[in-house]
Structure 1
Amino acid sequence: MRWALVGLVTFVLFFPVLAAFFILLPFDRDRKHIHPLISFWAKAVLTVCPLIKVRLEGAEHLKQNGTYVLVANHQSIGDIIAILHLSHSFKFVAKEDLFWIPCLGWALWLAGYIPLVRGDRMSGKRAVDQASGYLKRGVSVLLFPEGTRSPSGEIQAFKVGAFKLAAEVGVPIVPIVIHGTRDFLPKGSRLLARRVQVTVKVGIPQQLAAKNNGSVESFSDQIREEMIQSLKSIRSQFKTGELVSV
């Protein structure tokens, strides 16, 4: 019965989002005002979902009118709907396959998120150009610098594209650490695994600085190490009982 309610909420609430898209489009070129509706939709779906609860930390680091390159670790397809709990308006760069998933994919298209075909250089260039355009117009962009979901749940090596983009446009990087989605829907699985509490932790905005010697690679390594330590901290809170699974 609960899953029927999840399906009903997912489907029914999509139509107000669709209506708002057509109403706002002439006045909202970058669809910034669609994101709060998508965020509301994601929260509503997970509110009635019996298996996943999302806890936000550090959302106050994101100024509502600030422009950032957000970088997050990637554990599961569930990362997308979990991170949509952030009220700060942004655009995802996500693999194109996701845009064809009923309701979720349609919402991604409507919100103006950025599709990427992995391994396709032209698609990569289009995605970078689109992301750069958004940033220059004051719209934040979110990327997964690992490039794909981590099979182990550990934070994998970063690609430096997100960091180059931030340096070129002159906006801060904001690290975001996600924990728990891998337990809910692991990579390679089509089944929902078990009930979990997901943590989305937003870090402090940072810019390429003199301490990095102007090196994007050094900056990327620094941010990755900070995210690894943050993920360890979240895990230790669960182990000591400060946080509990739902």
Structure 2
Amino acid sequence: MAELVYPPIVFATKTAFRLLDLKLDVRGAENIPATGGAVIACNHVSYLDFMFCGFGAQPAKRLVRFMAKRQIFDNRIAGPLMRGMHHISVDRAAGAQSYQAALDALRAGEIVGVFPEATISRSFTVKEIKSGAVRMAAEAGVPLIPMALWGTQRLWTKGRKRDLLQRHVPVTILTGEPTRPGPDDDVDKLTGELRTTMAGLLDTIQRDYPDQPASEAERWWLPAHLGGSAPTPQAAAEADRRAPE
């Protein structure tokens, strides 16, 4: 597969990270396989998470093919870039086709990135997740790798004005140990276990995070259970019901 678009995008992204002096802390990269297919299942707190999830695979020199909603591919600017990087369009009206495209990529030895929560978590905790990541890993016979991100919400998240030029922001990327679901395994059980693992990874990096809000007004980027003013999971779920993405 020709890679004419993805490497320059990675280079430009790394340059931007350096110019902004983002404090990137990448942990657990040894859990990303150097070759072969795999599914990365990552939490979702920011519109920029795909960039940082992909960055987490860079120590293994892997490019991640993300599953993203069709509307991004329809954008006249983002669309050609997404197709050039061989990401996978998700059309909810043609879900089987998107799923098959992801399976084909996995069987061809690609890493596929999935955000199982489907939409950004307003509470900055792990919401209920969909079973697609587990099902794909089991059907393709590849490892399932949990990942958690923290700090990206400070740059651009749902309901907040984006601040893409903010400097010196710490961002933590933690990759957990892979599992290998089998075709006869209980998908619902494994999906619940995946959510628990993702939540544990996220809690670890939230509690280890080297920065704290500088004022009461900035406590919005902390979850409620850590003393922040982000909505509770219950309030966030209600907000999602009122204004689905």
Q: How far does residue 99 in structure 1 lie from its aligned partner after superposition?
A: 3.5
Q: Alpha-carbon deviation of 1:53?
A: 3.7
Preserved CA contact (<8 Å) 2:88 2:98? yes
Instruction: Indicate the residue corresponding to 2:173 in structure 1.
Output: 200
RMSD: 2.5
Partner in structure 2 of residue 79 of structure 1: 49
Whole-angstrom distance in 2 between the partners of 1:99 and 1:82: 20
CA drift at 1:54: 2.6
Question: Does 1:216 pair with 2:190?
Answer: no
Q: Which residue of 1 aligns with 2:104?
A: 133
Once the two structures are superposed, what CA deviation does each residue of 1:193-237 show, in whole Å capped at 9, x if it has no partner?
A: 855211111111111269xx8211111111111111111111111
Q: How much has 1:104 moved relative to structure 2?
A: 5.1
Cα distance between partner residues in 2 of 1:58 and 1:36: 23
Q: Give 1:1-246 correspondences, 5 Å limit.
A: 28=1, 31=2, 35-49=6-20, 52-85=22-55, 86-87=57-58, 88-99=62-73, 105-117=79-91, 120-122=92-94, 124-192=95-163, 195=167, 196-208=169-181, 214-238=185-209, 243-244=210-211
SS at match of 2:206: helix
Normalising by structure 1, we get a TM-score of: 0.75
The alpha carbon displacement at 1:62 in A equals 1.2
Contact 1:72 1:175 in 2 (8 A): yes
- In the alignment of these two chains, the number of paired residues is 207
Deviates more, 1:87-96 or 1:127-136: 87-96
Structure 2 spans left out of the alignment, 5+ residues? 214-245
Note the alpha carbon deviations across 1:101-156, whole angstroms, 9 max, x for none.
67655432211101223xx231x222111101111111111111001111111100
Q: Percent same amino acid among aligned pairs?
A: 27
**What is the TM-score of this pair, normalised by structure 2?**
0.75
Give the distance between the partners of 1:33 and 1:132, measured in 2 at CA: 23
In 2, Cα distance between the equivalents of 1:49 and 1:202?
23
Question: Which residue identity does 2:186 align to in structure 1?
Answer: S
> CA separation of 1:99/1:197 partners in 2, compared to 1, >3 Å: closer, same or farther?
farther
Relative to structure 1, the CA distance from residue 141 to residue 223 in structure 2 (aligned partners, 3 Å threshold; closer, same or farther) is same
Shift of the 224–189 alpha-carbon distance from structure 1 to 2, 3 Å rule, reads same
